[in-house]
Amino acid sequence: MSPTTAPATTLTHHAIVIADDDADVRCVLTMLLRELRPVFEAADGRQALELVRKHVPALLVCDSEMPGLRARDVILAMRRDPELANIPVIVTSGFPQAVVLDSDMLPTAFLAKPFAVAELMQLVENTLACAVS
């Protein structure tokens, strides 16, 4: 799986992994976020975790409920792996009231769907900036 737009010299650990089982949402997120970084797409939680392990990205944007593994499971696996533990995660959900956050899987940020483009971009840029500092 190659990034949607990444020059050959781009290091993948500067990439963003997007995980959402809705192809339309993935397409929109990819279109917007590839302006900032190379993007890798996952259609489910297992694929998301595989991409995170393979590329050690700068950020994971992950839907809360997906086939395979939910965001909670992906985050728990990441937090247990020293190489992945500090990767910021933005969890998105169309049902924010149904998302149960516990101390073991706290994402870096949460974004309710539908979201405004400006809100998404500001959150991603702030998250990436905080991860660097």
Q: Does 100 score more than 90 pLDDT?
A: no
Class of residue 80 by CB neighbours under 10 A (exposed 0-12, middle 13-18, buried 19+): exposed
Distance CA 96, CA 32 (A): 22
- Of the ranges 8-12, 70-74, 96-100, 105-109, which one carries the lowest mean pLDDT score? 8-12
Please compute the mean of the pLDDT values over residues 104-120 and round it to a whole number.
88
Of 132 and 68, the structure prediction assigns the larger pLDDT to 68
- Reported pTM: 0.87
Res. 50 pLDDT band, cuts 50 70 90 = very high
Kindly report, residue by residue over 20-31, the tens digit of the pLDDT.
Answer: 999 999 999 999
Highest CATH level, class, for 12-132:
alpha beta
Q: Does 74 score more than 60 pLDDT?
A: yes
Which residues are CB-contacts of 78 (< 8 A; sequence separation ≥ 6)? 49, 52, 60, 84, 85, 87, 89
